[in-house]
């Protein structure tokens, strides 16, 4: 017998979860954040409780994502799907789901530039606006300091679009050198860098590396007391002055519900990916609250997410109607570590002009593995 979705006192929502030995935390942190939100705010709605149906998508390839999505649709009859996947894969998946009238919520750091013109109506993005943060950081440093920059990165999948954003924000002419290293471990990167010309003391090294390379590279390289531009994943503490950028309430949180809930239920402090999952949980919770008439689930969810806003501590995040991305203030930092920093400026991502957006999104985005940031 056929049954209407959500007609038996439960609201089924699919969650596509990456599971791999290489990135084990990617399969737990975001999920813990989603569950934490439903635990804190109680899982009870007009149509009943939410049942989260998890499917393993391995390393997040489109073939695996597509296969598990079909299972969620045909076997579980979910009303919506949440996924921790790359944004390029997300666009393809949303196009597939559009024919089924199922909304898709994708969570990642925002490491890929996706033009608003290719965002399907049923795709919403819960991100920390990673690439926008580094465009704005490059722009700020270029406009306020007489810096020249030497970009140093790795061919080991190091977040290409944040680098592209920084390069564009720094206005290209301020980039005096770009070095791309081949090694996939820290000591190898350092040895390889020695084969390149000495970086001028008049230029600022801008380091775009995944977390497992960043700490070792910074701590074991002599920088002549220069400032460094780094991605926000440096977790050690040395005296080297650094610049970095990220959305507020992302690298850590002061939100009382979140911090107390994480301590009480998970015995931990909220980190980047637990917070990402918590925000995803808030969007899914709002989706469940909106479902009163099962004949109009699809449009109700789209309308709810389109008008969605979330307050964490003193920060408010809301969906940008142009690209369906959960947007907030970008904080530009100077300091030596995440625990020793000051905010230089607070900028809104809307300060990025339409011309820049069109130019950057016109170039095909390189695939960046969203799980490498764990």
Taking 70 as the threshold, does the pLDDT of residue 176 lie above it?
A: yes
Give the model's pLDDT for residue 1: 36
Q: Decide if 302 contacts 94 (C-beta within 8 A).
A: no
Instruction: Find the CATH number of the domain harbouring 233.
Output: 3.40.50.2300
pLDDT band at residue 277 using 50, 70 and 90 as cut-offs = very high
CB burial readout 32-69, b (16+ within 10 A) else e: bbbbbbbebeebebebbebebbbbebeebebebbeebb
Structural domain count of the chain = 2
Give the model's pLDDT for residue 158: 58
> Is 181 found in the same domain as 113?
no
Domain annotation covers residue 337: yes
Taking 60 as the threshold, does the pLDDT of residue 7 lie above it?
A: no
Q: Which of 5-9, 27-31, 217-221, 297-301 has the lowest mean pLDDT?
A: 5-9
> Is 307 found in the same domain as 236?
no
> Is 277 found in the same domain as 168?
no
Taking 90 as the threshold, does the pLDDT of residue 202 lie above it?
A: no
> Is 213 found in the same domain as 78?
no
Residue percentage of the chain with pLDDT more than 90: 63
The whole domain housing 336 covers 131-247+329-366
Taking 80 as the threshold, does the pLDDT of residue 156 lie above it?
A: no
> Is 340 found in the same domain as 237?
yes
Residue 56 forms beta bridges with which residues?
17
The mean predicted confidence, pLDDT, of the chain is 90
Give the model's pLDDT for residue 188: 79
> Is 104 found in the same domain as 15?
yes
pLDDT digits (tens, 9 = 90+) for 64-107: 999 999 999 999 999 999 999 999 999 999 999 999 999 999 99
Average pLDDT over residues 130-135: 95
Give the model's pLDDT for residue 364: 72
Domain annotation covers residue 2: no
Domain annotation covers residue 5: no
Which residue from 87, 74, 88, 83 is spatially nearest to 104, judged by alpha carbons? 83
């Amino acid at each position: 017998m056929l049954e209407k979705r959500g007609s038996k006192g439960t609201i089924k929502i699919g969650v596509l979860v990456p599971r791999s030995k290489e990135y084990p935390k990617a399969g737990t942190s975001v999920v813990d954040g989603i569950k934490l939100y439903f635990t804190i705010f109680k899982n009870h709605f007009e149509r009943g409780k939410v049942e989260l149906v998890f499917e393993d998508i391995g390393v997040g390839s489109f073939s695996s994502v597509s296969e598990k999505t079909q299972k969620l649709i045909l076997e579980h009859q979910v009303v919506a799907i949440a996924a921790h996947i790359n944004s390029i894969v997300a666009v393809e998946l949303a196009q597939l789901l559009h024919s089924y009238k199922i909304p898709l919520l994708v969570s990642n750091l925002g490491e890929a530039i996706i033009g608003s013109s290719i965002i399907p109506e049923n795709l919403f993005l819960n991100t920390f606006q990673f690439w926008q943060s580094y465009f704005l950081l490059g722009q700020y440093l270029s406009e306020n300091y007489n810096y020249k920059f030497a970009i140093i990165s790795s061919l080991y999948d190091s977040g290409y679009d944040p680098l592209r954003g920084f390069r564009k924000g720094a206005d290209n002419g301020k980039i005096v050198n770009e070095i791309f290293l081949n090694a996939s471990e820290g000591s190898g990167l350092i040895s390889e860098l020695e084969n390149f010309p000495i970086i001028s003391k008049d230029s600022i090294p801008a380091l775009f590396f995944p977390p497992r390379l960043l700490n070792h590279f910074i701590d074991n390289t002599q920088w002549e007391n220069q400032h460094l531009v780094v991605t926000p994943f440096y977790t050690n503490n040395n005296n080297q002055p650094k610049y970095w950028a990220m959305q507020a309430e992302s690298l850590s949180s002061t939100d009382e519900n979140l911090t107390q809930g994480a301590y009480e239920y998970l015995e931990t402090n909220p980190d980047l990916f637990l917070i990402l999952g918590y925000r995803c949980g808030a969007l899914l919770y709002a989706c469940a609250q909106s479902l009163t008439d099962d004949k109009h689930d699809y449009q109700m969810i789209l309308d709810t997410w389109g008008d969605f806003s979330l307050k964490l501590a003193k920060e408010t995040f809301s969906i940008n109607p142009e690209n369906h991305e959960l947007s907030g203030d970008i904080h530009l930092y100077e300091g030596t570590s995440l625990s020793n920093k000051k905010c230089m400026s607070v900028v809104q991502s809307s300060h990025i002009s339409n011309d820049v957006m069109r130019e950057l999104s016109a170039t095909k985005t390189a695939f960046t593995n969203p799980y490498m940031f764990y």
